[in-house]
A and B are shown apart, each in its own frame.
Chain A
Amino acid sequence: MYAYDELDRTLLHERVEEFRDQVKRRLSGELTEDEFKILRLQNGVYLQLHAYMFRVAIPYGTLSSKQLRALAHVARRYDRGYGHFTTRQNIQFNWIKLAELPDALADLAEVGIHAMQTSGNNMRNVTSDQWAGVAPGEVEDPRIWSELLRQHTTLHPEFSFLPRKFKIAITASEHDRAAIKIHDIGLRLHKNADGETGFEVLVGGGLGRTPFIAKTIKPFVHGRDILSYVEAILRVYNQYGRRDNIYKARIKILVHELGIEKFGKEVEEEWQQLRDSALTLDDAAIEEVRSRFSYPAYEKLPHMPDELKQAAHDPVFERWRKNSVFPHKVQGYSIVTLSLKPVGGPPGDATAEQMDVIADLADRYSFGEIRVGHEQNLALPHVAKRDLPALWKALDKAGLATPNVNLVSDIIACPGLDYCSLANARSIPIAQELTRRFANHDTAGLIGRLHINISGCINACGHHHVGHIGILGVEKNGEEFYQITIGGRADESAALGTLIGPSVPYAEVADVVEDIVEAYLALRDSPDELFIDTVKRLGVEPFRERVYATR
């Protein structure tokens, strides 16, 4: 966990009071909506179909049990008893009242949570690997760098009015769980030949109506230079990024139009003006942030405790363990993913009661810590293996032990037309139907790793471009239709999916996905060949034939 200092706490409280005054002036008519809109957006407040939506940041996906209880409290007191975890380590509340927002923010500020820069054309929540600090083989904890960037960019006047929103993600593991290649800036922490820690810097990734995979702009930037290098990128973007056309305003368009070489040259020139300035991080500054992260006092525990050996006789427990429990860097401990994708449920939603249960379980079994992943699931990062059977029973009781992590029913979906004012089509009912079709966890296990991503419009909040199977809702003559892509992925081998053919109506989407999965099962080389690898080997054609042969 990261401990906020007095400066952080003062900033949050001042921000709440500032927003309270802004809301008061809006409600009295002193501020028009045009004047107020930018202020509310800077505090994570959107207007959706039915109500205001309030987006709260969970920096680098790390939450304390106390913070999760505060989110449960907000869900219960100011909303309708649940929250929605997003693809960028945020949580959204869908029914918040403007008049009550300052109180909700004040309650969250008490536990060091805020909504600053969760919307608007500024630097958004800096995200990271949800297994940061506990993943085996990690270079070092990437959250230290996320926090340094968070501090530097929060309320930074130069980055408060960018041409468009700007997102950074950081990973320190070989397997990228932070989807860095679909971010405006992706940072991969690694060591150079001299053993120094630094970053491969990628730039210009993003989805939406013009998707791009990020390109490497610099293979190694020393850790001490990361603030100045990121600032150089932002300055070039701020100067040349388009402000005349919202659809061409993201940095990905600038990188694409200039080309990565020319863009890189511009950044290099800018960086030379900045690199030996006050932005250079000395060891003391890095250590100061590092020291504010606390790590559990792990016990020396056996690799295979008796409790686990005994529980292994229960096939239901074993299925969950094999699916949802992952190796930890410390012997005797595990990382446990909590699926927020129950059969028939809206992906990524958790009720206030579930949040409270998870907070209690985190206190009991995970040193009071919870993580949020971009796949819209949660994790307990420090669970002793001996406690896995007891944890499983408690999770199962709360509906949080669905053994479908990384399987076909672990669907990423945006809120879609049920909530969102930008959406063209619904996402959640499609996801719900698919989870019912693949409700048999044994069958899902046989299918193996398969990521389905659903977006209700081209803005791609459900990251459909990088789903192994991507589903995009579109409108045709007032009806909901869906385009299907396959072959996308969001990890270290990130790729955009390929459209398999004409869009299909709402009622046929689940049938089409079943056809694709059946085709895969028939075409795969062996049970070990994952869906994504079969698509890579064979291309789209055999899947297209299967889907459209009878349509």
Chain B
Amino acid sequence: MTSPLEQKKIRITGPSVVTANRTRDGVVIYRTAQQGWSAQLADAAIVRTSDDARALLAEAVADDVGAIGAYIAPVEIKDNGVIAPGNLREHIRSEGLTIELPVSA
């Protein structure tokens, strides 16, 4: 779970997506193939080569108003085609905390 904030070289070894946080409220978002953003990982554009990853990231970073902190994150493509987060960090970003929120009933 090395922080992607330390991501320097772009070299992917498997299917990946570009993710960021939405500027106005910080919500986790994914770059789509339609040059937009979605809060659903299922809508994310999948890249499989480093060149494609670089291109998708460049496009995402260019949207400085809409998104903040874009980076490339690994995903798994399940047999049924479902996109799943590729590591625990991304799982937590996508699915939420692994603990219950401490909110009173």
Contact = CB atoms under 8 A, between A and B. Distances in A.
Contacts of B103: 80-82, 351
B80 interface: no
Given A26-B23, A99-B25, A354-B104, A421 B5 contact: yes
Interface in B1-51: 1-3, 5, 21, 23-28
A47 interface: yes
Contact of B25 (A48, A98, A349, A475): A98
Contacts of B5: 421-422
B102 A345 contact: yes
A49 B92 contact: yes
A49 B21 CA distance: 8
A349 B93 CA distance: 20
The B interface is mostly helix, strand or loop, or mixed, namely loop
A426 interface: yes
Contact of B26 (A51, A81, A423): A51
B40 to A, nearest CB: 15
Interface in B54-75: 64-65, 68-69
B82 interface: no
A418 B96 CA distance: 8
Given A27-B24, A424-B2, A417 B102 contact: no
B68 A417 contact: no
A50 interface: yes
The A interface is mostly helix, strand or loop, or mixed, namely mixed
B97 to A, nearest CB: 5
Given A98-B26, A351-B102, A47 B21 contact: yes
B88 A417 contact: yes
Interface string B76-103: 0000000000011100110011110111
A536 to B, nearest CB: 34
A417 B69 CA distance: 17
A424 B1 contact: yes
Interface string A416-444: 01110111111011001000000000000
Contacts of A345: 102
Contacts of A351: 102-104
Interface string A447-460: 00000000001000
Interface in A264-300: none
Given A28-B65, A51-B27, A80-B101, 20 more contacts: A27-B23, A32-B64, A33-B23, A47-B69, A49-B28, A49-B92, A50-B28, A51-B25, A81-B103, A99-B25, A349-B102, A353-B104, A417-B1, A417-B89, A418-B92, A418-B98, A423-B3, A425-B1, A432-B99, A480-B88
What 5 pairs between A and B have smallest CB-CB spacing? A51-B26, A97-B25, A29-B65, A52-B26, A349-B102
Interface of A: 26-29, 32-33, 47-52, 80-82, 95-99, 345-346, 349-354, 417-419, 421-426, 428-429, 432, 457, 475, 478, 480
Interface of B: 1-3, 5, 21, 23-28, 64-65, 68-69, 87-89, 92-93, 96-99, 101-104
